[in-house]
Amino acid sequence: MIRIEAATRRYGAAVAVDGVDLHIAEGEAFGLLGPNGAGKTTLVRMLSTLARPDGGRLAVGGHDTVTQAGAVKRLLGVVFQENNLDRDLSPRQNLTFHARLHRLDHVEKRVAAMIGRLGLAAKADTPVDRLSGGQRRRLVIGRALMTEPKVLLLDEPTTGLDPAIRRDLWDLVRDIRDGGCTIVLTTHYVEEAEALCGRVGIINHGRIVALGSPEELVARHGGPRLEDVVVALGAGGRE
């Protein structure tokens, strides 16, 4: 579903992504694990067509992210770190606006179903500004799902949330994963990658320094935990 070949991205003299090669299968939940500044967000921005690679090639569903950006966008749902909801509107209004923007049919039915799926029925008509942080993040993810994307890009979706709320959001991501959607999740929380992803790429200084399932990485690098592997590879510290 996703093919990344020798992808490179620079910002001035700084190399944010440095020759990354990566293939992600349809229906796979893949985690990019690494510290802030490792290149995770830049890679997601390139996949989402918001940033052009300076070298190499990225493709989603067989479509090149540069020359076929429109086709790529039709396959994607994207959740960035920022909550870019309209804070004066309710969840129902935010989802309705997004559905109409994408010219979806049966808008009211789709919105009602998504509100129920997100567990926001009691807050459906409450201004976003009065929702909790976890409820807002649910709404951002739900908005990305309104177009029924084949691929969902989640860029550190639980950063800044307390552990209980973070684990609540994991249940939503598991539900999406189990529905067959291809997921790319970036995170610097080791236990998040372990809980949600069948395969993990540890990224540091723009390069994939280790790749495999959490169990494979522990066995290959002498564990005893994935967190120890991350620390040993110099790709981050403890939460």
Give the position of tokens 């990224």: 203
Take residue 213 and report the two structure tokens written for it. Answer: 């399932």
Q: What is the mean pLDDT of residues 21-27?
A: 97
In angstroms, the CA 169 to CA 25 distance is: 23
User: Which uninterrupted H or E stretch holds 133?
Assistant: helix 133-145
Confidence band for 234, pLDDT divided at 50, 70 and 90: low
Task: Order across the sheet with 2-11: list the strands.
Answer: 14-24, 2-11, 55-60, 63-64
Q: Is the pLDDT at 29 greater than 80, yes or no?
A: yes
Contacts of 10 (CB under 8 A, 6+ apart): 16, 54
Query: Does the structural domain 2-83+149-232 have CATH classification 3.30.70.2750?
Result: no
Predicted local confidence at residue 235, as pLDDT: 52
In angstroms, the CA 157 to CA 153 distance is: 10
In angstroms, the CA 119 to CA 138 distance is: 9
Confidence band for 159, pLDDT divided at 50, 70 and 90: confident
Look at residues 157, 187, 169, 174 and name the one whose alpha carbon lies nearest to residue 80. 157
Q: Integer distance in angstroms from the first to the last C-alpha of the chain?
A: 31
User: Which uninterrupted H or E stretch holds 116?
Assistant: helix 107-117
Contacts of 79 (CB under 8 A, 6+ apart): 140, 141, 144, 152, 153, 154, 155, 157
Q: Is the pLDDT at 164 greater than 50, yes or no?
A: yes
DSSP labels, 52-70? --SEEEEEETTEETTTTHH
Q: Find the helix packing angle between 91-101 and 133-145, rounded to 10°.
A: 20
How far are the Cα atoms of 19, 27, 45, 169 from residue 239, in angstroms, in the given order? 28, 28, 25, 18
**Which residues make beta-bridge pairs with 69?**
none
For the chain, the domains span 2-83+149-232
Q: What percent of the chain has pLDDT over 70?
A: 97
Q: What average pLDDT does the structure give for the chain?
A: 93
How far are the Cα atoms of 181, 189, 197 from residue 142, in angstroms, in the given order? 13, 22, 20
Predicted local confidence at residue 120, as pLDDT: 96
Look at residues 23, 18, 17, 9 and name the one whose alpha carbon lies nearest to residue 182. 23
